[in-house]
Structure 1
Amino acid sequence: MTSRFRLGLIINPLAGLGGSVALKGSDGVAMEAIAKGAKPKAHLRMQQALEVILPYRDEVEIITASGPMGEALALQMGFHVRVVHEVGDETQAEDTQAVVKVLLNETLDLLLFAGGDGTARDIFAVAHDDMPVLGVPAGVKIHSGVYGITPHASGMVVKMLLDGELVSLMDADVMDIDEVAFREGVVKARRFGEMLVPAEPRYIQAVKMGGIESDELVLADIAAEVIESMDEELFIMGSGSTVAAVMAELNLDNTLLGVDLIKSNQLLGSDLTTVQLIEMTDELPTKLVITLIGGQGHILGRGNQQLSPQLVRRIGKENIIILATKTKLKALEGRPLIVDSGDPELDRELCGYYRLITGYHDYVMYQVANPDLD
Structure 2
Amino acid sequence: MESLGVVVNPIAGMGGRVGLKGTDGKLEEARELGAEPRAPDRAREALAAVHRRAPELTVYTAAGVLGEDAARDAGYEPIVVYEPTADDGTEPPAETTAADTRAAVRAFLERDVDLVCFVGGDGTAVDVAEVIERDAERATTDSGSETDFSRDDSGTPMLGVPAGVKIYSSVFAVTPADAGRIIAEFDRVTSREVNDIDEDAYRDGEVRAELKAVVPVPVAPDVQSGKQVSSGSVDSLASGFAREIDPDRTYVFGPGSTVGAIETELGIDPSPLGVDVWRDGTVLARDASESEILEVLAEPVTIVVSPIGGQGFIFGRGNHQLSPAVIERADEIEVVASGEKLDGIDALRVDTDDAAIDESLRGWQQVRTGRFTTRLVNVV
Deviation at 1:95, TM superposition (A): 0.7
Alignment partner, residue 103 of structure 1 = 108
Q: Name the CA shift for 1:211/1:38 in 2 (closer, same or farther; >3 Å).
A: farther
TM-score (norm 1): 0.53
1:156-205 Cα shifts (integer Å, max 9, x gaps): 101214xxxxx3211110001110011111111111121110011x2000
Find the residue that maps to 1:208 and give its secondary structure: coil
Q: Name the CA shift for 1:328/1:11 in 2 (closer, same or farther; >3 Å).
A: closer
Q: Name the CA shift for 1:55/1:150 in 2 (closer, same or farther; >3 Å).
A: closer
The runs of 5 or more residues in structure 1 that have no matched partner are 162-166, 213-325, 332-374
The runs of 5 or more residues in structure 2 that have no matched partner are 85-91, 136-153, 232-338, 345-380
Note if 1:137 corresponds to 2:141. Answer: no
Deviation at 1:76, TM superposition (A): 2.3
Which residue of 14, 20, 23 corresponds with 2:20? 23
Deviation at 1:52, TM superposition (A): 1.4
Letter of the 2:124 partner, please give it.
T
Q: Name the CA shift for 1:209/1:154 in 2 (closer, same or farther; >3 Å).
A: farther
Letter of the 1:148 partner, please give it.
A
Deviation at 1:58, TM superposition (A): 3.5
Letter of the 1:133 partner, please give it.
M
| Residues 66, 85 of structure 1: 8 Å contact kept | yes
TM-score (norm 2): 0.52
Alignment partner, residue 7 of structure 1 = 4
Q: Name the CA shift for 1:65/1:327 in 2 (closer, same or farther; >3 Å).
A: same
Alignment partner, residue 172 of structure 1 = 192
Q: Distance in 2 between matches of 1:47 and 1:197?
A: 21
1:241-300 Cα shifts (integer Å, max 9, x gaps): xxxxxxxxxxxxxxxxxxxxxxxxxxxxxxxxxxxxxxxxxxxxxxxxxxxxxxxxxxxx
Q: Name the CA shift for 1:210/1:188 in 2 (closer, same or farther; >3 Å).
A: closer
| Residues 17, 39 of structure 1: 8 Å contact kept | yes
Deviation at 1:47, TM superposition (A): 1.3
| Residues 137, 147 of structure 1: 8 Å contact kept | yes
- Name the structure, 1 or 2, with higher relative contact order (CA <8 Å, separation 6+): 2
Alignment partner, residue 95 of structure 2 = 90
Larger Rg belongs to: 1
Note if 1:69 corresponds to 2:66. Answer: yes
Deviation at 1:116, TM superposition (A): 0.1
| Residues 54, 184 of structure 2: 8 Å contact kept | no
Q: Distance in 1 between matches of 2:110 and 2:197?
A: 31
Quick one: percent identity of the two aligned structures? 40
Alignment partner, residue 117 of structure 2 = 112
Letter of the 1:100 partner, please give it.
V
| Residues 10, 66 of structure 2: 8 Å contact kept | yes
| Residues 97, 122 of structure 1: 8 Å contact kept | yes
Letter of the 1:195 partner, please give it.
V
Q: Across the two proteins, how many residue pairs are aligned to each other?
A: 210
User: What does 1:1-374 align with in structure 2 at a 5 Å threshold?
Assistant: 5-56=2-53, 58-87=55-84, 88=92, 89-127=94-132, 128=135, 129-161=154-186, 167-200=187-220, 202-208=221-227, 327=340, 330=343
Q: Which moved more, 1:55-64 or 1:35-44?
A: 55-64
Deviation at 1:28, TM superposition (A): 1.3
Q: Distance in 1 between matches of 2:40 and 2:214?
A: 25
Q: Name the CA shift for 1:210/1:45 in 2 (closer, same or farther; >3 Å).
A: farther
| Residues 172, 196 of structure 1: 8 Å contact kept | yes
Find the residue that maps to 1:47 and give its secondary structure: helix
RMSD: 2.3
